[in-house]
Structure 1
Amino acid sequence: MTVSDTPMHLTQGAHVGISVSDLDASIAFYSALTGREPVARGTMDSEPFGRTQGLPNAKLRYATINIDGLGIDLIQFQDPVGERTNGKANRPGSMHLCFKADDFDAVYQRMKDAGYDFLGDDYTFTSGEVTPEAALGTKVAYFNDPDGTNLEIIEPQGGFAN
């Protein structure tokens, strides 16, 4: 794909869409994680919409949970049903959704106590590992949703990870 280097000025996110295998289970997971209930739920069955995504059809169920400044669209495709990606952080094309935590240590402990399974230990950026130096002290931890979508909690330092 060749793309022009002309700036498009897309500087504000609207939502992130996450394909899920069980909408009800994902609603429960993300509602517990965010403390928010869906603001919208619905169904769709549209060949034209499917074609916008390179699919022959788009029969789906969805729900949207809004967090401050971003919507999380949970989408269960019923036709065609997709295969699980089993995304890993180092695979090109994979992505993760990051949630800010004002008190990382307290949130991390509450999540551990509630049974969230972190992929590894929590981590604090140290000198010599990260630039800019303003990121020093930033704390992160990674976990997955029920379908393996990579998620992160972060307590940024020095303007890092707006």
Structure 2
Amino acid sequence: MTTPSQTDIQVQRVRAIGLTVTNCLRSLNFYTQALGFELVSDITVAGEEYSNIVGVPGAEIRIVTLRLGDEIIELMEYLNIDSQPIPSDSQSNDLWFQHLAIVVSDMDRAYAHLCAFPIQPISTAPQTIPPGNEASGGVRAFKFKDPDGHDLELIWFPPDKGQDKWHQNQDRLFLGIDHSAMAISHTEQSLHFYRDLLGMEVDSRSLNWRATQARMDNLPGAEVKITALRPVQDGVGIELLDYLVPGKGRPIPSNWKSCDIAHMQIQMVVNNLEQLVEKLRRNGVEFVSPQIIQLRDSSFAYRQACLVKDPDGHALLLIAE
């Protein structure tokens, strides 16, 4: 088995996380006012290059870039193509579930502030993970949906948990993005992809259950095996959520596209994109982009990109800066 120490082809860091949205202005207002994000740029892209990346011919896309602390998200509105909404009955164990974990310095204040905005709660209220959980005991979390139905989480780390930076900027209420968590069907299958092929490193493992997890996920009897991974340069991580109870939810439909609202894409900076793409092809990974796409538009923060899918259909935009 290939491990990160045996290869120099690997993901270095997460640059940004993209979300397809119904209306950029509505989402911009929500993320800036409810969650403290700041506007970085607002561009519209069209043409063959970006259409080839996302696998949507003739797309005209407004991309609004927002920053929270060190982290970046991109809101992507397809201006000339109809988008399918996220199913209204989505649950946390459905395999399209993927959330952003937004770190806060004070959970009670952040929760009170957020409740003044149009959110759809998932959790009954902020939950505290029991102390018996070695990896995440004492962590507080609250899950909810944005106006489009994208899954989000507020998370607060006690002094002995989380990255150092989450304990250094207590003057702000909303601090940044710690990770993106996604429902998966098989832990070992996903580990082969993220650890063995992409070179990410396992950061922690835990089993979350009991009433706390059920209230957090709004899933009776929820029991979930969590594997956290980080890129070699640290920063935003990925959490694999393997639901043991109530079991796996629905798979991502094969006809969903980048223009559909459930679409999220994690932008991963790669140190050798050509070699990694070849490695992924040899391992039967699904590609959305037909090949590595060269971007001549200087408004992009990267020069090459290729969109692929993990074993469960979650999208990753592999980029070379």
User: Which has the larger displacement, 63-72 or 7-16?
Assistant: 7-16
1:27 matched to 2:31? The reply is no
Partner of 1:88: 91
How far the C-alpha of 1:36 sits from its partner, in A, is 3.6
Name the aligned partner's letter for residue 111 of structure 2. Answer: Y
1:120 matched to 2:129? The reply is no
Partner of 1:109: 112
How far the C-alpha of 1:24 sits from its partner, in A, is 0.9
How far the C-alpha of 1:114 sits from its partner, in A, is 4.7
Aligned equivalents of 2:24 and 2:118: distance in 1?
20
Partner of 1:46: 47
8 A contact 1:134–1:160 mirrored in 2: no
TM-score norm. by structure 1 comes to 0.83
User: Which has the larger displacement, 112-121 or 150-159?
Assistant: 112-121
Aligned equivalents of 2:119 and 2:84: distance in 1?
24
Corresponding residue pairs, total: 156
Percent of residue pairs identical = 24
Aligned equivalents of 2:91 and 2:80: distance in 1?
25
For residues 9-60 of structure 1, what are the alpha-carbon distances to aligned partners after superposition, in whole Å with 9 as ceiling and x for unaligned? 3242211101000111111111112334411001111123111122212211
Runs of 5+ in structure 2 lacking a partner? 164-177, 179-321
CA RMSD for the aligned pairs? Answer: 2.2
How far the C-alpha of 1:62 sits from its partner, in A, is 1.7
What stretches of structure 1 move > 6 A for 4+ residues in a row?
none
Runs of 5+ in structure 1 lacking a partner? none
1:98 matched to 2:101? The reply is yes
Aligned equivalents of 1:25 and 1:12: distance in 2?
29
Rate the CA distance shift 1:88–1:57 in 2: closer, same or farther, 3 A. farther
Higher strand share: 2
Aligned equivalents of 1:149 and 1:156: distance in 2?
23
Aligned equivalents of 2:106 and 2:141: distance in 1?
11
Name the aligned partner's letter for residue 151 of structure 1. Answer: L
Higher relative contact order (CA 8 A, sep 6+): 2
Partner of 1:155: 156
TM-score norm. by structure 2 comes to 0.44
How far the C-alpha of 1:115 sits from its partner, in A, is 5.4
Name the aligned partner's letter for residue 150 of structure 1. Answer: D
Partner secondary structure for residue 30 of structure 1: helix
Written as runs of structure 1 = structure 2, the 5 A alignment for 1:130-145 is 130=133, 133-145=134-146
Aligned equivalents of 1:34 and 1:146: distance in 2?
13
Aligned equivalents of 2:91 and 2:72: distance in 1?
23
1:60 matched to 2:61? The reply is yes
